[in-house]
Amino acid sequence: MLISTFQFNTTFFWHELLRPSSAFLGGLWRTVYISVIAQLLAVIVGLVVALARRSTLRILRGVAGAYVWVLRGTPLLVQLVIIYDGLAATDIYRFQDVTVLGVTVLASVQAAILTLALNESAYMSEIIRAGLAAVDAGQHEAALSIGMTPAQAMRYVVVPQALRFVIPPLGNDFNAMMKSTSVLSVIGVPELFFITQEISSSTFHTFEIFMDAALYYLALTTIWAFIQTWLEARIDRSWGIERAQRSWWASLRERFQDPKTLAIGRR
Amino acid sequence: MASFSSPSPASSVDDTGLVVHASEIHKSFASQEVLKGVSLDVVRGEVVVLIGPSGSGKTTFLRCINHFEVPNSGVMQVNGHLIGTKLDRQGKRVEASAREVATQRAEIGFVFQHFNLFPNRTALENVMLGPIKVQKMPKEKARTVAIDQLTKVGLANKIDRYPAQLSGGQKQRVAIARSLAMNPALMLFDEPTSALDPEVIGEVLSVIRDLANEGMTMVIVSHEIGFAREVADRVAMFDDGQIVEIGTPQQVFDNPTQARTKAFLSKVL
Ligand SMILES: Nc1ncnc2c1ncn2[C@@H]1O[C@H](COP(=O)(O)OP(=O)(O)O)[C@@H](O)[C@H]1O
Ligand SMILES: [Mg+2]
């Protein structure tokens, strides 16, 4: 005899989905801004590391290479615990809550942004390095031929062109970044996953609330996919390349169906 | 030909009238010696066309003129500067900084076989970039300069096109305008028409011909013998890293003295 014990509290599910508690929204918001800030920092640090790896100075190349090697060769989770708990335990550095302009940034959030940014910068440096390498060598020479210094050639000619090759993999990394914020719960960052766990243990509606969380993560990555598609089309247009007119829906479906454009299980 | 006296100590413009003074240029890549002592003087207003078989070192020599390649030995003086070098405070000749090399290069236009236009910039932006970033010209002024140059190469109606929207001949003309906008004292062309479809070669050659008529000093690598005959003051025949014959187009094309020149011409004519 099989009696269904499936109990799905539909009311709770819909309520938290459509009228999420302020705690839930706060978690969602932290997930978003931590991802965005960490990604932006990662792009800047990644560019510096990528340029260092192309440097004529061997020491600089070596240091940058070691940086990438270590950060890509160790788990994000381990890096996170070392930076937040490890540094504090050895009294090297203890993150403190800080208030700037009336906004309090939690110690754990600072550590989270720092760690995600460092971790991602190693991946970004490789992406940027590949992007720079994809720009035709003739472009650099053309810039030099009109009297630019190598630094000007890099800044005004090579880097802007590398963007076109960098945006697609960067977008995939940002998708992964938003999802990997869920590991931040181990150092107590009150982001979406952490809040969901709390709601789950206080209400016992584990299935419902995690389904809600999953839908919100999905919404974030989907919105990002739209932005990325728009960005790529915009860059193409700025090169005078018109893409075949496709519906948003078609390009979105393509993005999620093409395994190459998804960063699956990278972290 | 003006004779060459030792390099003027200051980096002022040489008054011998020589725009290029190359003497005994040697260049090797790894163990391969690509230039085996090339000497060439180009006076102001002169057009020299370099011919010769593929791999004979024409491109490498051209690239030595604007310091894209650094010779292993020899003297390369352009516009009165020993390119890539400067005098330090004690008057000793030392390697120039990247910025100083760039300043020397700004006076030398270089037109590439494959155009190398900036694909993310319109024709106008391609031409404006040098004046704005290198000469620090105000945008409005640079725009005027760029439109003038594009008009000169016959592209006044294409200034807002991206390279992807231009034909090969149009791209090469934008590339020429981009170099001219820097107001160079010397233009170098490396096979400017060999990547073009036959039907558009003429429009590019005609732009170069106009430049020759205006008195622009040019060194042109080209296999267009008819064109060379028309615009060249002198033709230099390269073979195996050396200039084996040099003279007026009549001398080199009609009465070549070297067997290697004859053999080469029989293939391209
Ligand atoms: N950057 C380089 N590294 C190694 N070999 C080169 C390089 N550039 C040119 N060469 C070699 O030098 C020789 C002369 O080349 P090049 O100057 O391009 O001749 P040309 O323009 O007359 O065809 C060729 O054998 C070529 O392979
Ligand atoms: Mg060549």
Which pLDDT belongs to residue A251?
67
Nearest residue (by CA) to ligand 1, atom 26, is: B55
Contact A233, A222 (CB under 8 A): no
Tokens describing residue B64: 């030595």
DSSP class of residue A85 equals I
Which pLDDT belongs to residue A3?
59
Contact B107, B182 (CB under 8 A): yes
Cα B54 to middle of ligand 1, angstroms: 9
Tokens describing residue A167: 């945006």
Q: What is the pLDDT along chain A (267 residues), one digit of tens a residue?
A: 555 666 888 888 998 888 899 999 999 999 999 999 999 999 999 999 999 998 889 999 999 999 999 999 999 999 999 999 999 999 899 999 998 888 888 999 999 999 999 999 999 999 999 999 999 999 999 999 999 999 999 999 999 999 999 999 999 999 999 999 999 999 999 999 999 999 999 989 899 999 999 999 999 999 999 999 999 988 888 887 766 555 666 666 766 665 554 443 333
Contact B165, B155 (CB under 8 A): no
Cα B248 to middle of ligand 2, angstroms: 22
Q: What span, in angstroms and rounded, lies between the C-alpha atoms of B251 and B244? A: 13
Q: What span, in angstroms and rounded, lies between the C-alpha atoms of B190 and B222? A: 7
Chain A residues in contact with B123 by the CB 8 A cut-off are none
Q: What is the pLDDT of residues B23-33, one digit of tens each?
A: 999 999 999 99
Cα A257 to middle of ligand 2, angstroms: 45
Contact B142, B131 (CB under 8 A): yes
Q: What percent of chain B has pLDDT over 70?
A: 94
Nearest residue (by CA) to ligand 1, atom 25, is: B55
The answer to whether A148 contacts B182, with C-beta atoms less than 8 Å apart, is no
Residue B20, amino acid: V
User: What global pTM score does this model have?
Assistant: 0.82
From A230's Cα to the closest Cα of chain B, the distance in A is 17
Chain B residues in contact with A136 by the CB 8 A cut-off are 116
Find all residues with CB under 8 Å of B32, minimum gap 6, and list them: none
A239 compared with B264, residue with greater pLDDT = B264
Chain A residues in contact with B132 by the CB 8 A cut-off are none
From A112's Cα to the closest Cα of chain B, the distance in A is 37
The pLDDT of residue B3 is above 50 = no
What residues form DSSP beta bridges with A100?
A103
DSSP class of residue A102 equals T
Contact B150, B158 (CB under 8 A): yes
The answer to whether B178 contacts A161, with C-beta atoms less than 8 Å apart, is no
| Of the listed ranges B4-8, B153-157, B214-218, B235-239, the one predicted with least confidence | B4-8
Which pLDDT belongs to residue B88?
81
Tokens describing residue B158: 């294409």
Which pLDDT belongs to residue B224?
93
Ramachandran category for residue A77: left, alpha or beta (phi over 0 → left; psi -120 to 50 → alpha): alpha
Q: What span, in angstroms and rounded, lies between the C-alpha atoms of A253 and A244? A: 16
Q: For chain A, give the longest Cα–Cα distance.
A: 85
Q: What span, in angstroms and rounded, lies between the C-alpha atoms of A181 and A178? A: 6
From A234's Cα to the closest Cα of chain B, the distance in A is 12
Nearest CA in chain A to B104: A147
Contact B237, B243 (CB under 8 A): yes
Closest to B42 in 3D by CA, of B195, B200, B212: B212
Which of B67, B101, B133 to mutate against chain A (most A CBs within 10 Å)?
Answer: B133
B114, B133, B163 member nearest A138 (Cβ): B114
Q: Is A151 on the interface with B (CB under 8 A)?
A: yes
CB atoms within 10 A of CB B15: 10
Q: Is A127 on the interface with B (CB under 8 A)?
A: no
Contact B126, B117 (CB under 8 A): yes
Q: Which helix (H) or strand (E) holds A99?
A: strand A98-100
Tokens describing residue A264: 């699956």
Which pLDDT belongs to residue B48?
98
A148, A156, A239 member nearest B119 (Cβ): A239
Which pLDDT belongs to residue A112?
97
The pLDDT of residue B7 is above 70 = no
Which of A136, A144, A145 to mutate against chain B (most B CBs within 10 Å)?
Answer: A145
User: In Å, how far are A60, A257, B231 from B59, measured between CA atoms?
Assistant: 33, 47, 20
* Ligand 1 pocket, mutate which of B26, B28, B29 (most atoms under 8 A from CB): B29
Which pLDDT belongs to residue A132?
94
Alpha helices in A22-147 (DSSP H): 22-53, 58-73, 76-81, 87-89, 107-134, 137-145
Q: Is the C-beta atom of B78 inside 6 A of ligand 1?
A: no
